[in-house]
Amino acid sequence: MKIMIVNGSPRTKGNTFLALDEMRKVFAANGVETEFIELGTKDIRGCIACRSCAKTGKCVFDDVVNETASIFNECDGIVVGSPVYFASANATLIAYLDRLFFSTQFDKTMKVGASVVIARRGGLSSTFDELNKYFTMSNMPVASSLYWNSVHGREIGEVTEDLEGMQNMRILARNMTFLIKSIELGKEKFGLPEQEPRTFTNFIR
């Protein structure tokens, strides 16, 4: 099993990293391989809806999105972590996710997704919902914990003082591991759910 972990924070060793690393330790203890992607301060522009990817199978902007697309394809799950900026995720991370999910043509059905959000105080639930949409629009189950997948902290290292939040990270990693294993067993016995041809309806008369 392999899980892709995306750190959307510009602070590569900051609170978001520490929360995600708490999960990584649990994955390692359970024999799950991880690929850690640090977006940091990379220059990632947003999607321009050119639809070039529909023809070429990759984004027209050849950057970290295309570099990590094959990793995403090979993984059984993905964890996305972000600090909270104005009750929303880091804009660089959103640009990355928009293009990653839109440009990749491979089937994401039953890959497991999990989002992790970090804030000093508020805006966690709105950011959590914002990130989960990528999974729920892609036939991907969403892993959960005992509470929202969030940890509190402002200065680097403060998340380690949020004992409940860090516990949530460990439980989330264990639940995600169990879910991936269960889905793999289900695939072997029952196969994937039946798929219908995609129907697109524009909201016009």
Number of domains in the chain: 1
Give the pTM: 0.94
pLDDT of residue 205: 62
CATH of the domain at 76: 3.40.50.360
Q: Is 197 domain-assigned?
A: no
Q: Is 155 domain-assigned?
A: yes
CA separation, residue 178 to residues 30, 58, 175, 183 (Å): 10, 32, 5, 9
Q: Which of 182, 161, 163 is nearest to 171 (CA)?
A: 163
Residue 4 in contact with residue 71, Cβ under 8 Å? yes
Q: Is 199 domain-assigned?
A: no
Q: Determine the Cα–Cα distance for residues 13 and 180; give it in Å rounded to an integer.
A: 27
Range of the domain at 82: 2-190
Q: Is 124 domain-assigned?
A: yes
Q: From first to last of its 205 residues, what are the pLDDT tens digits of the chain?
A: 999 999 999 998 999 999 999 999 999 999 999 999 999 889 999 999 999 999 999 999 999 999 999 999 999 999 999 999 999 999 999 999 999 999 999 999 999 999 999 999 999 999 999 999 999 999 999 999 999 999 999 999 999 999 999 999 999 999 999 999 999 999 999 999 998 998 888 887 6
Q: Is 198 domain-assigned?
A: no
